[in-house]
Structure formats: C-alpha cells, structure tokens
C-alpha cells in the first residue's frame, strides 16, 4: 500500500472580476472518484491544504444535474461523509513529496483563489514533477501550476502537454465574463502546450509523469491512468 497525496484548496470563495465573492471550494466528484480509485486499489490517501484548514466543498458540486441525477449526487455526498482524510488534513507547508507515491490536485474554483499563488504548493508541484512519480491535476486544479513560475519568469512545466478546464467550458458554466482571468489563457502564457477536447466529455493528456484531465468527468479516468503508472 502506497500513500497518495491529495492537495486541496483551502479557499471557500473565488473573487470575481468585480470584487464579489462567489462561494466555492473543491468539486465533490473530483475528490470522490479518484479517492475511490486509489483506495479500492489498496492505497492510502492523505489530504493536504494550505495551513491545514478543513477544505470547503463547493455546494454546487452536489447538485443532481452535475451528478447524473439525485442518486449520483447522493453517492458523492456519502463518499465525502466517509472520507476521514478530509477531516484531518495535514499542512501543505510541511509536506515532503518524498513520502508519497503520487500527488493529485482536484479542482473546483477554489484553486483559482489560493493555490494559483501559493508558494508551498508551487514547491510541491516542482518536487513532484522532478521525482518522476505520477503527478495528476484535473479541471481547475492546474491553476496551481501558475505558482511554479520562478524568479526568471519560467516554469518547469513549460513545454509540457496538458489540459484543464477550458475557456469554452468556463463560458458555458456562466463564469467566463465574470472571471478575473481564464485558466486556459494563463496556462498558455505559462508556456504549456494546452490541448482541449469536447466540453464536459472526459479528456486526458499524459506527458512524461504529468497526468491532466479537462473537467469533472475526467477525474475518475485520470486516477485510473495514474494507478496504471503506479504499477
């Protein structure tokens, strides 16, 4: 049994372009689907957040319409209730990636608020990439990559092929015209080779030990790909 590190946002809101706070946090399915993949394979999940704060669930992620109906929403809620690691997160500032077989970043709009500028998260990502062990990010989770830019303005992720929540999906979700910045645009500016599939359909990109998924539907398949890489 190996330990898998889940790095979750500590934010409970996303500051929009007009300064208003949109309630958010992590997206339920993007935590529960990978958690089930890893734990059913016998691995242990450890959750880390900035400051070790209890992570906030985006309430919108339990809506029936984004979970294939009420039954799906109930299943996500039940898994979240059973997830002990969510109730005892470790401090991201104290994380040493050497103790983990893989690192995974779920999304939700929360990472746009805190992880995008969090230096400790940037260190974890840089160390995880250099380790050669599987590093996965899904949906808005790749916002954390923006914190890997060094003093010279470059990122170790420049040139990597990846995907994330797209401008088209942000527009369809109703936030593109409210956002202070768009994730796809920022990742392109970072120097990554951004790739996108059809909105809302599962879409994965793998480049060396970097595994990325475009949207919530990609989270389970992404974890399965990471699990295969773990052997």
Q: Report the pLDDT value the prediction gives residue 231, as an integer from 0 to 100.
A: 80
How does residue 192 score in pLDDT terms, banded at 50, 70 and 90?
A: very high
- pLDDT class of 220 with cuts at 50, 70, 90: very high
pLDDT band at residue 178 under the 50/70/90 scheme: very high
What's the pLDDT tens digit per position in 18-71? Answer: 999 999 999 999 999 999 999 999 999 999 999 999 999 999 999 999 999 999
Task: Report pLDDT for 150.
Answer: 93
Predicted confidence at residue 1, as pLDDT, reads: 87
The percentage of the chain sitting over the pLDDT mark of 90, rounded to a whole number, equals: 99
pTM above 0.85, yes or no: yes
Spatial distance between the Cα atoms of 131 and 126, rounded to a whole number of angstroms = 9
């Amino acid at each position: 049994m190996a330990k898998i590190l889940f790095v979750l946002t500590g934010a409970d809101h996303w500051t929009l372009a007009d300064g208003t706070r949109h309630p958010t946090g992590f997206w339920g399915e993007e935590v529960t689907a990978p958690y089930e993949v890893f734990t059913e394979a016998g691995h242990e999940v450890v959750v880390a957040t900035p400051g070790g704060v209890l992570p906030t669930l985006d309430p919108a992620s339990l809506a029936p319409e984004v979970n294939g109906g009420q039954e799906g929403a109930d299943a996500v809620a039940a898994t979240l209730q059973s997830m002990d690691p969510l109730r005892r997160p470790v401090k991201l500032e104290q994380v040493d990636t050497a103790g983990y077989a893989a690192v995974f970043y779920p999304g939700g709009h929360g990472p746009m608020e805190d992880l995008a500028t969090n230096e400790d998260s940037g260190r974890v990502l840089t160390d995880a990439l250099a380790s050669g062990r599987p590093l996965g990010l899904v949906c808005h989770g790749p916002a954390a990559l923006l914190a890997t830019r060094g003093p010279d303005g470059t990122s170790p992720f420049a040139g990597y092929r990846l995907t994330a929540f797209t401008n088209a999906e942000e527009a369809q979700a109703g936030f593109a015209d409210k956002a202070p910045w768009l994730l796809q645009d920022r990742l392109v500016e970072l120097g990554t080779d951004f790739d996108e599939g059809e909105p809302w359909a599962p879409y994965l990109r793998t480049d060396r030990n970097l595994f990325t998924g475009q949207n919530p539907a990609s989270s389970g398949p992404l974890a399965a790909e990471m699990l295969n890489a773990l052997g």
